[in-house]
Amino acid sequence: MTNKELANLMYPSVNKTISDYETIYPERNIDDKAVVSRFAPSPTGFVHMGSLLTVFVTNKAAKDTNGIFYLRIEDTDGKRTVESIDGIVKDLNSFNIEIDEGAISDNEEIGNYGPYVQSKRIDIYNTFAKWLVENDYAYPCFCSEEDINEIRKVQESKKDRIGYYGKYAKCRFLTNEERAERIKNGEKFVLRLKSTGDFNKKVVINDLVRGSIEYPENDIDHVLIKSDGVPVYHFAHVVDDHLMRTTHVTRGEEWLPSTPLHIELFKKFGFKVPKYCHLGLVMKVDEEGVRRKLSKRKDPEAAVSYYHEKGIPVEAVKLYLMTIANSNFEGWMDSNPGKSIDEFKFDFKKMSKSGSLFDLEKLLNISRNYISRLTAREVYDDTLKWASEFDKEFYEILTKYKDYSINIFNIEREQKKPRKDYESYSSIKSQVWYMYDELFNDNLEYDFDKINNSEEIKNILNEYIKLYDEKDDKDTWFNKIKEVADTLGYASDMKAYKENPNNYKGNVADIATVIRVVLTTSRVTPDLYVIMKLLGKDRIINRFNKF
RNA sequence: GGCCAGUUGGUGAAGUGGCUUAACACACUGCCCUUUCACGGCAGCAUUCACGGAUUCGAAUUCCGUACUGGUCACCA
C-alpha cells in the first residue's frame, strides 16, 4: 500500500492541496523590511502583564516598519475551557494597541489571511497533515497512554533519553497495511512526525534577542495532530505562521527548547523559517524572597485590569514597558523631551535576555512624572473618567465643582518643574479631599506639630484672621504671617531664630503650620497661599471656627 | 536526570579587550534651599562585575570548569 493511499484513508475529506492554500494566502505585498508579527494567546480570559509586554514589543516592531500586526487565537486545547475572547480584545483596546488583522470578537474578524481562530482551521491543518503522510514525513500512531508510560519506564531504567523517538517509536515500524487495517477497525490514532533529525548534530537558532543558540537536532516523533483531530501548538504554529506570512515570531523563552522541532517542520515543508524572538519572562520577588514568574493567579498586579482600577495612566504603563523592553529608551526620552513613544525605534537586540523583575515602584514613578506633565484640564478629564467607574462619590464632587477642581489640579503645575505628587488617578482624592467641604466635614484628625495647645492655636487664628485679606499678593500674605509671629513672641526671621532659638516661643514656620493644619488637617500640602486663595475667605473663617 | 539559557549595586540596567578609579534611571541616606511637603542643588550608595582557573602587556568583556537561578523534556499552550 502506498503512502498516498494511506493518506487518503486517514484524511478522506481533504479536497485541497498545499499549493491551493499558497494561492489563497499569497506572499504579502509589503516592503522587504516590514515586520509581520502576531499576538497568539490561548483564550483563557484576560491579558497578563508579561503578555502585554510581548504584545507591546511585537506590535511596536510591526509599526516601526510599516508592517502588519495581527491577533490569532490559539484555542486548540480541549481541556482549557474556551472562553470568550472579548476580555483579550478589550484589554488590547484599553492600551490602544491596534490590530491590523485578526479576531475582533467571538465571531468577527478582519483581514485576508484568516480564519484567525485555530479551531476554524482544521481543514487547513488536515491538508498539510495529509501531505506529510504522502511524503513519508508523518505516520499514524496507535499507542495508548499506557504504552507511552511503558516506554518511559524502560528509558528511565536504562538511563536513556525520555521520549518517543528512534527505536522506541513503535508505530514508526508498522507497515502501511497494518496501519490501514487498524484505522479501518476504527482504532483511534494520533499523527506523529517521522523525525529525521540526529540528536548528535546541532541546529542553530538565530534568535533576534539572544543571538545564535545551538541545540541538538530534534529527533522526537512529536504528536502533530491529536486523536480528536485537533493539532498541537507545534504543528499549528508552523502551518499558521507560514500561511499568514509571519516574518517575526515573538514568544516567551519557554518555547526555546521546542524550536528545533519547529525548524524541522518548516524545513520538511520547504518553508522559510521565520525570525524568532524569544523574550525573557517578567518576574517578581514574592514574600519569601523567591524570584518567580509573575503569576496571573497569585499576583493582582499581573492583570492588566489592576492598572485601570488603580488609575495608572495607560501611557505611563506603556512608558514603563518600553523602559524594560529597551533599556536605552529612558535615555532617549531625556534627550527627546516631548516626543511620542511612537518615534522611538525599538530594537529586539537591545532586549534583556534574562527575565526582568517587575518594579511597581518604578512604574509609579513614571506615572508621577507623566501626570505632572499633563495640563490641569487633562488631569481633570482623566480623573473624572477614572472616578466615573471606580469612585462615584468623587465623580459627583468633580462634576459639581469642575472649575474649582481644575484650579486645584493646577497648583504648582504651570512651572518648569511641576509638582509630582499624583502617582495615579486613584491617589488624587486622598491628596485634595480637604479642598471640598463635602469631604472635610467628618471626624477630622488634625496633625499638629510643635504648637498643639488649642488655646495657643486659637490665639494664633484670632490674631491672623484680623489681618487676612483675600486680595493680598504672596509677599503681603506672608508678611502678615510674620506679623502674627512677632506679635505673639515667635521669630519672624528664620536666621535670627536659628541663632537664638531660646529667645522665642517658636518661629514663623510654626505659625504657618498651624494655619495649614487647621485648614487642611495636614502638615503636608502644596503651596498654602494658593490653597487659601482657592478656599476663599468664607471657608477659611468656617474652618477656623470649626476648630 | 538530559538539553538549553541566564548570572554586573536594593531594583531596572549600560558595557562586546585598554577612554571604566563600572554610565544612566528608580529606591535609599546625608546636607543645602525653604512657611510644610514637593521641586531643585550638592554629596553618598558595586575598589568591583556568581566562583575558580586559563589566554593576554591588559578582562565585567575571550576560553574552560564549578555553583546558583530559570526554562523545557505531554494527545497544554
Closest nt to A251 (CA→C1')?
B77
pLDDT of residue A401: 93
Distance in Å from B59's C1' to A443's CA comes to 66
CB atoms within 10 A of CB A201: 9
Distance in Å from B31's C1' to A60's CA comes to 45
More confident residue, A284 or A213: A213
Q: Residue A249 — very low, low, confident or very high, per pLDDT cuts 50/70/90?
A: very high
Distance in Å from B19's C1' to A540's CA comes to 62
| Share of residues in chain A with pLDDT > 70 (%) | 95
Nucleotides in B strand less than 7 A from protein CB? 1-8, 11-16, 23-27, 34-40, 69-77
The whole-number average pLDDT for the span A389-407 is 93
* A84 vs A472: CA distance, rounded Å: 62
Distance in Å from B4's C1' to A222's CA comes to 19
Does residue A155 approach strand B to less than 7 Å at its CB? no
Does residue A412 approach strand B to less than 7 Å at its CB? yes
Closest nt to A359 (CA→C1')?
B11
- Whose CA is nearest the C1' atom of nucleotide B27? A361
pLDDT of A336 higher than 80 = no
Task: Give the DSSP letter of residue A160.
Answer: P
The enclosing H or E element of A460 equals helix A454-467
Answer whether A106's CB lies under 8 Å from A84's CB. Answer: yes
In sequence order, what are the beta bridge partners of A25? none
CA distances (Å), origin A100, targets A106, A238, A346: 17, 21, 19
pLDDT of A292 higher than 90 = no
Does residue A513 approach strand B to less than 7 Å at its CB? yes
Q: Residue A290 — very low, low, confident or very high, per pLDDT cuts 50/70/90?
A: low
Q: Burial, A245: exposed, middle or buried (Cβ in 10 Å; 0-12, 13-18, 19+)?
A: middle
Strand B, CB < 7 A, residues 288-317 of A: 290-293
Does residue A524 approach strand B to less than 7 Å at its CB? yes
* A413 vs A288: CA distance, rounded Å: 41
CB atoms within 10 A of CB A406: 17
Query: What are the phi and psi torsion angles at A60 (to 5°)?
Result: -65, -45
Answer whether A260's CB lies under 8 Å from A217's CB. Answer: yes
Answer whether A510's CB lies under 8 Å from A456's CB. Answer: no
pLDDT of residue A179: 94
More confident residue, A346 or A300: A346
* A360 vs A534: CA distance, rounded Å: 34
Lowest mean pLDDT among A59-63, A168-172, A300-304, A472-476: A300-304
Closest nt to A257 (CA→C1')?
B72
Does residue A170 approach strand B to less than 7 Å at its CB? no
The whole-number average pLDDT for the span A297-302 is 72
Residue A390 CA neighbour count, 13 Å, CB half? 19
Closest nt to A420 (CA→C1')?
B38
Does residue A115 approach strand B to less than 7 Å at its CB? no
Cell for A53? 509586554
Does residue A17 approach strand B to less than 7 Å at its CB? no
* A501 vs A496: CA distance, rounded Å: 8
Strand B, CB < 7 A, residues 254-293 of A: 254-258, 281, 283, 290-293
**Is the pTM for the entire model greater than 0.90?**
no
Does residue A454 approach strand B to less than 7 Å at its CB? no
pLDDT of A53 higher than 90 = no
pLDDT of residue A81: 64
Among A41, A95, A28, which Cα is nearest to A67's?
Answer: A28
Q: Is residue A524 classed as helix, strand or coil in its secondary structure?
A: coil
Does residue A233 approach strand B to less than 7 Å at its CB? yes
- Whose CA is nearest the C1' atom of nucleotide B7? A354
State the average pLDDT for chain A: 88
* A172 vs A7: CA distance, rounded Å: 15
- Whose CA is nearest the C1' atom of nucleotide B74? A223
pLDDT of residue A331: 77
In one-letter notation, the amino acid at residue A368 is: R
In one-letter notation, the amino acid at residue A51 is: S
Does residue A74 approach strand B to less than 7 Å at its CB? yes
Task: Give the DSSP letter of residue A231.
Answer: B
Task: Strands of A145-256 (E only): list them.
Answer: 190-193, 202-207, 211-216, 223-225, 248-252
Distance in Å from B76's C1' to A425's CA comes to 39
More confident residue, A335 or A192: A192
Does residue A214 approach strand B to less than 7 Å at its CB? yes
Answer whether A85's CB lies under 8 Å from A103's CB. Answer: yes
Q: Burial, A433: exposed, middle or buried (Cβ in 10 Å; 0-12, 13-18, 19+)?
A: middle
Distant-in-sequence contacts of A266-269, Cβ < 8 A, 24+ apart = A266/A238, A266/A242, A268/A132, A268/A135, A268/A137, A268/A193, A269/A18, A269/A128, A269/A131, A269/A238, A269/A242
More confident residue, A285 or A501: A501
CA distances (Å), origin A399, targets A118, A286, A383, A386: 47, 41, 11, 13
Dihedral of the CA atoms A184, A185, A188, A194 (nearest 10)? -50
Distance in Å from B71's C1' to A292's CA comes to 12
| Share of residues in chain A with pLDDT > 90 (%) | 43
3-state SS string over A86-100? Answer: HHHHHHHHHCCCCCC
pLDDT of residue A494: 80
* A133 vs A125: CA distance, rounded Å: 12
pLDDT of A405 higher than 80 = yes
For A470-528, how does the pLDDT look when each residue is reduced to its tens digit (9 = 90+)?
888 888 898 888 888 888 888 888 877 877 778 888 888 888 999 999 999 888 889 89
Residue A58 CA neighbour count, 13 Å, CB half? 33
